Amino acid sequence: MQAIRSILVVVEPEHKDDLALKRAKLIAGVTQSHLHLLVCDKKSDHSDYLRDLTGLLNSEGFSTSSQQAWDDSQHQTIINVQQAEGCGLVIKQHFPDNPLKKALLTPGDWKLLRYCPAPVLMVKTAKPWEGSVILAAVDVGNADGEHRTLHTSIVSHGFDIAALAKAELHVISAHPTPMLSAADPTFQLKETIETRYREQCKAFQAEYDISDDHLHIAEGPADALIPQIARQLNTGVTVIGTVARTGISGALIGNTAEVILDALESDILVLKPDDIIAHLEELVAQR
CATH of the domain at 279: 3.40.50.12370
User: Domain check: are 153 and 269 in the same one?
Assistant: yes
Confidence at residue 161, expressed as pLDDT on a 0 to 100 scale? 94
Confidence at residue 251, expressed as pLDDT on a 0 to 100 scale? 43
Asked if residue 21 is part of any domain, the answer here is yes
Asked if residue 119 is part of any domain, the answer here is no
Can you tell me the mean pLDDT for 89-107? 74
- Counting residues of the chain whose pLDDT is more than 90, the rounded percentage is 53
User: Domain check: are 149 and 61 in the same one?
Assistant: no
pLDDT digits (tens, 9 = 90+) for 248-268: 443 444 467 777 888 899 999
Cβ pair 157, 237 in contact under 8 A: no
- The overall average pLDDT reported for the chain is 85
Cβ pair 208, 159 in contact under 8 A: yes
Residue ending a domain, among 93, 124, 141, is: 93
* 183 has pLDDT over 50: no
User: Domain check: are 260 and 183 in the same one?
Assistant: yes
User: Domain check: are 164 and 47 in the same one?
Assistant: no
User: Domain check: are 66 and 189 in the same one?
Assistant: no
Question: Whole domain around residue 12: which residue ranges?
Answer: 6-93
Confidence at residue 98, expressed as pLDDT on a 0 to 100 scale? 65
Asked if residue 147 is part of any domain, the answer here is yes
The upper half-sphere exposure of residue 172, i.e. CA atoms within 13 Å in the direction of its Cβ, equals: 28
Residue ending a domain, among 34, 64, 93, is: 93
Can you tell me the mean pLDDT for 64-93? 96
Confidence at residue 167, expressed as pLDDT on a 0 to 100 scale? 94
* 9 has pLDDT over 60: yes
* 110 has pLDDT over 90: no
Q: Which is more confident, 112 or 182?
A: 112
pLDDT digits (tens, 9 = 90+) for 210-252: 999 999 988 888 889 999 999 999 999 999 987 644 444 434 4
User: Domain check: are 261 and 141 in the same one?
Assistant: yes
User: What's the CATH number where 45 sits?
Assistant: 3.40.50.620
pLDDT digits (tens, 9 = 90+) for 22-55: 999 999 999 999 999 999 999 999 999 999 999 9
User: Domain check: are 173 and 78 in the same one?
Assistant: no
User: Domain check: are 153 and 42 in the same one?
Assistant: no
Which phi and psi (to 5°) does residue 203 adopt? Answer: -60, -50
- Least confidently predicted of 51-60, 79-88, 154-163, 237-246: 237-246
User: Domain check: are 85 and 138 in the same one?
Assistant: no
User: Domain check: are 83 and 183 in the same one?
Assistant: no
Asked if residue 117 is part of any domain, the answer here is no
Confidence at residue 253, expressed as pLDDT on a 0 to 100 scale? 44
Residue 188 pLDDT class (50, 70, 90 cuts): low
pLDDT digits (tens, 9 = 90+) for 159-176: 999 999 999 999 998 887
Q: Minimal CA–CA distance to 121: which of 165, 90, 87?
A: 90
Residue ending a domain, among 93, 123, 149, is: 93
Asked if residue 186 is part of any domain, the answer here is yes
DSSP 136: E
Confidence at residue 246, expressed as pLDDT on a 0 to 100 scale? 41
User: Domain check: are 151 and 280 in the same one?
Assistant: yes
What CA–CA distances, in Å, run from 244 to 113, 248, 250? 13, 6, 9
Asked if residue 208 is part of any domain, the answer here is yes
User: Domain check: are 169 and 81 in the same one?
Assistant: no
Asked if residue 52 is part of any domain, the answer here is yes
Residue 133 pLDDT class (50, 70, 90 cuts): very high
* 181 has pLDDT over 60: no
Burial of 85-113, coded b for 16+ CB within 10 Å and e otherwise, reads: bebbbbbbbbeebeeeeeeeeebbbbbbb
Asked if residue 215 is part of any domain, the answer here is yes
Which phi and psi (to 5°) does residue 39 adopt? Answer: -105, 125
Cβ pair 38, 111 in contact under 8 A: no
* 59 has pLDDT over 70: yes
Q: How many domains does the chain have?
A: 2
